[in-house]
Structure 1
Amino acid sequence: MTDRRGWWPELLLGLVAAGLGLANTRSGEPGATGGGWAPVIAVLAGLGLIGVRRLPWLVLLGECALMLAAGTVTVNGSGVAQLAAALALGFVAYRAGWPATAAAFTLFLAATVADVRALGGSATLSGSLGALRLAMLGGAAAAPVAFGRYLRGVRGTARIAEERARDAEARQEIQTHAARLAERAGLARDLHDIVAHHVAAIALRAGSARYAVQQTGDTDEAVLALGELRETAGQVLDELRELLEVLRDPEAVDSGGSQVEPEQMIRDAERRVREAGIAVRVTVSAALAAAPLVVRTTAARVVRESLTNTLKHAGSGAIASVDVRADDGVLLIVVRDSGPVQPQPALPPSGYGLSGMRERVGLLGGTLTAAATSGGGWQVRVALPIRENG
């Protein structure tokens, strides 16, 4: 019942109805067709169906007029006009609201009653038998209305379902895009912290090289430090390129896996602080590998950020330890250092510090405590639930 199919279905319907109506009148009794008007009315009624889909009200009016004319000028009326009017009534019920449908039903019922009275006389609808016939006519007239309204309801339900499907698809696209943006932001944050860690190591190694040249005259130590600086700077440039790529293209983020394995992050952080002149001992139990990825990644971030703080505030010559173990469904991370051996130069802030670590740990329902030790050092202790977040 849409316009996409063109006129040909209605044209075919009208021609078939006109042909059947004409054949029906030709097969009737001689002299019973009312002076030859029955074929004309049958053909007109059939051809009227050509516009029933686009102009149902106009077709209904025309078919009702033909019904009245058939009852007046013919003996047996025109069944084609009545069927065509019923079809037009169904289209009106499908396309219009209840007030227009009620008006169309009244018109069709009135034309049907007038046609019956013209054919059978006024006594046809009188008495109890007439009342029964009138009720049957009302029921027959209501059938196309019920069918049209049913199709309207089915079409409305289908339209609502399509709209809901489109809305759900749009929401899914928005959620997917938001997840990609969140993943991109998280990855950029991780890479920022890694770069900050490397820059802190570069600053300390540069200070060590300068100290070796100025205070001890040991050029070998300075050359070794400069070589390590070159290697670290190259890694920083690679990671900065990766960071820029992620920031430019959110679609480049693959949420299927972590960019850096947590265990590798811990090993890299240990190597950096060791190269910077800090004696570090790292103990990682097998519980870390068995923990969920999000817990492992957060633990690695805590270790890396804590060792970065040790680089910044304790400096070369300090002693640090990292202990990662499981205890009754909780992953414990303890990072402590001995404090600075000599005054440290002020370094620019990097990473997100304690506030960033608390935020990450809090998202997993964990706790973080950080405080100075009795020996002048610093300790960071984190407890991450394993089972709840697995």
Structure 2
Amino acid sequence: MTLPRPHRDDLLIAAGGLAVGLLMWSFGLHTQTDRPITARWATLIPLAVMAAMATVRRSCPRTALTVGTIALVADQFTYGSLVTALMFTDLVYAAVVYGTPRSARRIPYTTGLITVGVTIGFLVWWQNAIALLVGLITGMVSFLPAVTGAVVRNHRQAADAARLRAEQTALLAEMDRSQAVVAERARMARELHDMVANHLSAIAIHSTAALSLDDPATTRQALTVIRENSVEGLAEMRRLIGLLRDSSGDAEPAAAPTLDGLDALTAQAAANGETSGLTFALDDTRPREEPALPAPVELAAYRIVQESLTNALKHAAPGEVRVAVARRPDGALTVAVASALGGQPGPRAPGSGAGLVGMRERVTLLGGAFEAGPVTSDDGRKEWLVRAVLPIGTSDKEPSAWYG
């Protein structure tokens, strides 16, 4: 077994104590006169042992205290050295500060009992006030260093606990900041995708058509649609940039889109999908007399319809794209977009799948239910259906059947 390397401060304490003890011994300064061992050199043995134990006061505190106690008792049979007693007090202090928690709890009580026992014993033996002085010295050598070590250890533990709490608080704050940044980036990604993707998809489809078909009328119509979507996409980008920049100069942020704009959104999709054989129909059965929906719900529903129409322009087979918006008896808002499932003839725009992820995130943030996938309609046709249930306040969050 390899012993721990002594600490530098412990080596300095041991060397300093030994040097002072040797100096006092050379001048004949002792603590006692009439002792069983009369050889002057015998005083150096407990001093040397105590100095040796001081080197391991931090690495082996229990061993140092045990051997130091034996050396102190042996010192009482010689002329004695004040430095030996002082170094013993340091060993008691170190045993409490650097020892195990069990030792730190037991040493103050043990030294206190020893102090009381020594005082009572000498009072019974001598029956004079000198016994109280001996008890006081015993307490100063053993009990007082132990109590001081306990106080220092408690303060260090409190400081460590406070530092740990501060580090944990800083870590939690950093985690909250990171989560807030991630959530904000996700929100910005959803907004950017939903605002611009439909315009860019229409541009991609019509530009491919213009390049692949040698028909001046078709080319002119495609270029017209490309220009309209470019202008609208640029306007959407400018509004988004205006919201993100603090120094944009806008007096007020741009108003968020609402379900009242579904008619215009469907009409725009119809214009973009005319060359692909797509038609669009909107069925909004919401009661007009009911109070307005919460802004987050309206924005989520609008973006879901917008992204679904964009996906239909990219991937749907020729046919009707149906948009249905309704309120359930429990007050929840339902949004459904169905399109024909199958290969789309002619040019297609590539998709990344981010749209479905964004729609699902929007619904999840509101505590709703989201479904997207192939289904069979009542007339037996294969369709792709996107359906979202957005609760209003406290409402049922369980997904219902896709049709109904």
Displacement of 1:109 after TM fit?
A: 7.5
Corresponding letter in the other structure for 1:345: G
99 and 233 in structure 1: CA distance in 2 versus 1, 3 angstrom threshold? same
| Equivalent residue number for residue 64 of structure 2 | 100
Displacement of 1:111 after TM fit?
A: 6.4
Q: Do residues 225 (structure 1) and 225 (structure 2) align? A: yes
Displacement of 1:304 after TM fit?
A: 2.0
Say if 1:368 and 1:382, in contact at 8 Å, map to a contact too.
yes
Tell me the alpha carbon deviations over residues 296-350 of structure 1, each in whole angstroms, 9 at most, x when there is no partner: 554344222221233235589846434153541533212346x59x974251342
Q: Do residues 140 (structure 1) and 147 (structure 2) align? A: no
Q: Do residues 261 (structure 1) and 239 (structure 2) align? A: no
Q: How does 1:21-36 map to 2 (within 5 A)?
A: none
Say if 1:303 and 1:322, in contact at 8 Å, map to a contact too.
no
Tell me the alpha carbon deviations over residues 238-281 of structure 1, each in whole angstroms, 9 at most, x when there is no partner: 69x96xxx9xxxxxxxxxxx999363896584463144255543
| Equivalent residue number for residue 156 of structure 2 | 155
311 and 135 in structure 1: CA distance in 2 versus 1, 3 angstrom threshold? same
Say if 2:280 and 2:322, in contact at 8 Å, map to a contact too.
yes
Displacement of 1:158 after TM fit?
A: 0.6
Q: Indicate the SS of the match to 1:299.
A: helix
| Equivalent residue number for residue 350 of structure 1 | 351
Q: Do residues 200 (structure 1) and 201 (structure 2) align? A: yes
| Equivalent residue number for residue 184 of structure 2 | 183
Displacement of 1:53 after TM fit?
A: 11
Equivalent of 1:366, from 351, 364, 369?
369
98 and 199 in structure 1: CA distance in 2 versus 1, 3 angstrom threshold? same
Displacement of 1:163 after TM fit?
A: 3.5
Displacement of 1:188 after TM fit?
A: 2.6
Q: How high is the TM-score relative to the length of structure 1? A: 0.53
Q: How high is the TM-score relative to the length of structure 2? A: 0.52
318 and 186 in structure 1: CA distance in 2 versus 1, 3 angstrom threshold? same
Q: Indicate the SS of the match to 2:323.
A: strand
CA distance in 2, matches of 1:137, 1:113: 17
Q: How does 1:1-390 map to 2 (within 5 A)?
A: 55-58=12-15, 69=29, 71=31, 97-101=61-65, 128-129=124-125, 135-142=135-142, 143-203=144-204, 214=215, 217=217, 224-232=224-232, 234=234, 261=256, 263=258, 269-270=265-266, 272-276=268-272, 277=274, 278-281=279-282, 283=284, 289-290=293-294, 293=296, 298-313=300-315, 318=320, 320-325=322-327, 327-336=329-338, 344-352=345-353, 356=357, 359-360=360-361, 361=363, 364=367, 366-368=369-371, 370=373, 371-374=375-378, 379-387=385-393
Q: Indicate the SS of the match to 1:148.
A: helix
Displacement of 1:151 after TM fit?
A: 0.7
93 and 380 in structure 1: CA distance in 2 versus 1, 3 angstrom threshold? same
Say if 1:324 and 1:331, in contact at 8 Å, map to a contact too.
yes
236 and 259 in structure 1: CA distance in 2 versus 1, 3 angstrom threshold? closer
198 and 288 in structure 1: CA distance in 2 versus 1, 3 angstrom threshold? farther
Say if 2:331 and 2:392, in contact at 8 Å, map to a contact too.
yes
CA distance in 2, matches of 1:323, 1:272: 18
CA RMSD of aligned residues (A): 5.5
Say if 2:338 and 2:385, in contact at 8 Å, map to a contact too.
yes
CA distance in 1, matches of 2:226, 2:206: 8
93 and 238 in structure 1: CA distance in 2 versus 1, 3 angstrom threshold? same
219 and 352 in structure 1: CA distance in 2 versus 1, 3 angstrom threshold? closer
Q: Indicate the SS of the match to 2:371.
A: strand
Say if 2:256 and 2:299, in contact at 8 Å, map to a contact too.
yes
Displacement of 1:99 after TM fit?
A: 3.8
Tell me the alpha carbon deviations over residues 349-371 of structure 1, each in whole angstroms, 9 at most, x when there is no partner: 42528853784346745142653
Say if 1:367 and 1:382, in contact at 8 Å, map to a contact too.
yes
384 and 167 in structure 1: CA distance in 2 versus 1, 3 angstrom threshold? same
Q: Indicate the SS of the match to 2:293.
A: helix
Say if 2:335 and 2:388, in contact at 8 Å, map to a contact too.
yes
Tell me the alpha carbon deviations over residues 92-126 of structure 1, each in whole angstroms, 9 at most, x when there is no partner: 999674443555566667768978999xxxxxx96
CA distance in 1, matches of 2:81, 2:231: 106
Q: Indicate the SS of the match to 1:335.
A: strand
Aligned residues between the structures:
297
Corresponding letter in the other structure for 1:380: V
Identity of aligned residues (%): 22
Displacement of 1:162 after TM fit?
A: 1.1
Say if 1:113 and 1:137, in contact at 8 Å, map to a contact too.
no
Corresponding letter in the other structure for 1:261: A
Higher helix share: 1
CA distance in 2, matches of 1:135, 1:192: 84
280 and 109 in structure 1: CA distance in 2 versus 1, 3 angstrom threshold? farther
Corresponding letter in the other structure for 2:293: A
Corresponding letter in the other structure for 2:29: A
Corresponding letter in the other structure for 2:389: A
CA distance in 2, matches of 1:113, 1:149: 31
Q: Indicate the SS of the match to 1:381.
A: strand
Corresponding letter in the other structure for 1:263: T
